[in-house]
Chains A and B, each alone.
Chain A
Amino acid sequence: SAVISQKPSRDICQRGTSLTIQCQVDSQVTMMFWYRQQPGQSLTLIATANQGSEATYESGFVIDKFPISRPNLTFSTLTVSNMSPEDSSIYLCSVEQGPGQPQHFGDGTRLSIL
């Protein structure tokens, strides 16, 4: 399966600031996704990162808070904007290499907001 590199692996941020998380894949993939995993919880899809067009956001997530870029088939970024302590979570990118293929996850970014 594809090798997925996500950075930073963790960060501690001040309230009101923004952080951009990067996801790099070693091969071209059709789909890239961003998830949030709060402590002890399951994975919640934030959005699907579409190459060359705006991301598709799930209910409860908006572009102003979580802007996403996907400039090509191997790279995507997620920005967490105007952070508050409620945004403390693990953010994971995942990729789907082709139609009907399972998703594979990056190592995640553990984000703490003070």
Chain B
Amino acid sequence: GENVEQHPSTLSVQEGDSAVIKCTYSDSASNYFPWYKQELGKRPQLIIDIRSNVGEKKDQRIAVTLNKTAKHFSLHITETQPEDSAVYFCAATLPGGYQKVTFGTGTKLQVIP
């Protein structure tokens, strides 16, 4: 089955700096990679996603890059703000009758004002 590794487990940045979270996956058949943000006590919320036919995707301060050859993908947050503080999960999805999603272990991001 798919295995997703995520690094770092914790990340502290100063407000305004950039944050990068990296994930690797094991199954080259995975073709869809969502990222979720989970604030304390709340549901995981989809913030950005990328499909295997695309190398990069941006949405305002958030971007995701995908390197299929190396089987890794990254989340980039620029100009971080205190409200970006949360746990971020990457995920890899295998195609099939239904999309089986495997989540990374999570990164706790703290943005220091």
Contacts and interface: CB of A to CB of B under 8 A. Distances in A.
B104 A42 contact: yes
B23 to A, nearest CB: 12
B43 interface: yes
A100 to B, nearest CB: 7
Contact of A42 (B34, B46, B105): B105
A64 B33 CA distance: 33
Contacts, number: 41
A103 B45 CA distance: 9
B89 interface: yes
9 contacts: A42-B103, A42-B104, A44-B103, A45-B100, A48-B98, A92-B43, A96-B99, A99-B99, A108-B43
Given A42-B105, A103-B101, 19 more contacts: A42-B103, A42-B106, A43-B44, A43-B103, A45-B100, A45-B101, A92-B44, A96-B99, A99-B99, A100-B99, A102-B46, A102-B49, A103-B99, A104-B46, A105-B44, A106-B43, A107-B42, A107-B43, A108-B43
A13 interface: no
Nearest to B43: A105
Interface of B: 32, 34, 36, 42-46, 49, 89, 98-101, 103-106
A63 interface: no
Please name the 6 residue pairs, one residue from A and one from B, whose CB atoms are nearest each other, closest first.
A105-B43, A43-B103, A42-B103, A102-B34, A31-B98, A42-B105
A100 B53 CA distance: 13
Interface in A56-100: 92, 96, 99-100
Contacts of B105: 41-42
B32 A100 contact: yes
Contacts of A107: 42-43
Contacts of B45: 105
A42 B89 contact: yes
A104 B37 CA distance: 12
